[in-house]
Amino acid sequence: LTAHKLQYFQFLGSTEVEQPKGTEVVRDAVRKLKFARHIKKSEGQKTPKVELQISIYGVKILDPKTKEVQHNCQLHRISFCADDKTDKRIFTFICKDSESNKHLCYVFDSEKCAEEITLTIGQAFDLAYRKFLESGGKDVETRKQIAGLQKRIQELETENAELKNKVQDLENQLRITQVHASPAGSVTPKSPSTDIFDMVPFSPISPQSSTPTRNGTQPPPVPSRSTEIKRDLFGAEPFDPFSCGAGDFPPDIQSKLDEMQEGFKMGLTLEGTVFCLDPLDSRC
């Protein structure tokens, strides 16, 4: 189940709920959104259609024409999924929003395949949990080690910059002391500036020598180091943890791991229930 793309559905919308699970919770949400759809129909508005894409990475709600992702619900955030056992059309799930941390109930109207959708989401949740147990811990541990190395490199770079500033200050003080110590009116021969260890500072940019060779021609230029990136036999660039940017990894990996672990431990409850309880529901 890499990616299970399904047909179009009518999307009644989403609404905030107080609890992550419960038949009564989703029943109230379905009734609320059904009533809102009934009002919109009376005003001549059509219920929007969406496309669902279910995989081990989550449930995506896409625009059927532009394929733009309207909602991306990660599986470890989905806690409850239910379908209507009476007309086989209505199905819903509760997902914890990643930004607001509020529980939102999403409601859809399908073409007599609500139970299939519910079971598909349950299967994807089970596979995602297995994948998390098999490889999630190893991947996170590796990323934690790389993040630690990156942090240490930044600390060393900062420390190195501070030491350079201190050395420069000491050199300036030494020059001032030498000027004050020299006799008045005497002229000292100009020599290259040295550091506190009497060494000429290293300059990474050295002027090219223009001295001709014996036959009067210029020496051949030094071949520059190839900037071409080496690749392995599979055509992939070699992995270098020191070239990774700070944005390549989340700032707090442990919190992400804890969040996923908590979501999977809560589990996904699949349930078949009856949403249509009065004549108004059947007309919506």
For residue 109, the domain's CATH number is 2.30.29.30
Domain that holds residue 128: 8-135
Please, which residues have CB within 8 angstroms of residue 120's CB and are 6 or more apart in sequence?
Answer: 1, 4, 6, 54
pLDDT of the residue at 243: 43
Query: Residue 227: inside a domain, yes or no?
Result: no
pTM: 0.55
pLDDT along the chain (284 residues), means of 10: 66 94 92 92 92 90 92 91 85 91 93 87 88 68 73 88 90 83 57 60 53 55 54 50 44 64 72 53 48
How far apart are the two ends of the chain, measured CA to CA in Å? 34
Rounded Cα distance, 51 and 61, in Å: 6
Predicted confidence at residue 15, as pLDDT, reads 95
Residues 6+ apart with CB under 8 A from 118: 81, 82, 83, 91, 270, 272
Residue 113 sits in the same domain as residue 38: yes
User: Which pLDDT score is estimated for 39?
Assistant: 93
Question: Residue 241 has what pLDDT?
Answer: 41
Whether residues 101 and 153 fall in one domain: no
Instruction: Indicate whether 102 and 119 sit together in one domain.
Output: yes
Please report the pLDDT score of residue 228 as a whole number: 54
What pLDDT score was predicted for residue 218?
59
Q: Are 119 and 169 in a shared domain?
A: no
Residues 6+ apart with CB under 8 A from 277: 27, 31
Q: What is the DSSP letter of 202?
A: P
DSSP for residue 136: I
